[in-house]
Amino acid sequence: MFEKGNGTKLSTEYVEKIAKRLGLDLAALLKQVADEELKTATPPIVSVGFCPEPECPSNTAYAVAGRTFHKVTLQKGRYCAFCGEVLEPRCPACGSVLNEGACCSNCGAPYVK
Ligand SMILES: [Zn+2]
Ligand SMILES: [Zn+2]
């Protein structure tokens, strides 16, 4: 049995001591592990974006209360298949992941102006 006391704290100190002895930077190692976990957690991204050109046929214009919106089509790849424009992969206003429709559901900004 362990003696009374905080076993977790002791073992952390022990690990730190060993790391120091081995000349390892524990903080850097932990960051490396976290980075690797992040990498494996996110699958390879197939770039998806919308065409920022208001007159492009991939964007469907409609009006709400006198304001014109453009419902975007999310396209795979880097360039618009309709007009060759560079696709926007994220919300131009806040950088959020794109959603269906005409406006960002995170910040409310219209995608196409
Ligand atoms: Zn286009
Ligand atoms: Zn946004």
- For the entire predicted model, the pTM comes to 0.60
| Distance from the alpha carbon of residue 27 to the mean position of ligand 2, in angstroms | 34
| Distance from the alpha carbon of residue 107 to the mean position of ligand 1, in angstroms | 23
**Helix (H) or strand (E) segment spanning residue 13:** helix 7-22
Ligand nearest to the CA of 55: 1
Q: Are 52 and 88 in contact (CB under 8 A)?
A: yes
The per-residue pLDDT for 42 is 65
The per-residue pLDDT for 58 is 98
Q: Are 48 and 97 in contact (CB under 8 A)?
A: no
Write out pLDDT tens, residues 58-89: 999 999 999 999 999 999 999 999 999 999 99
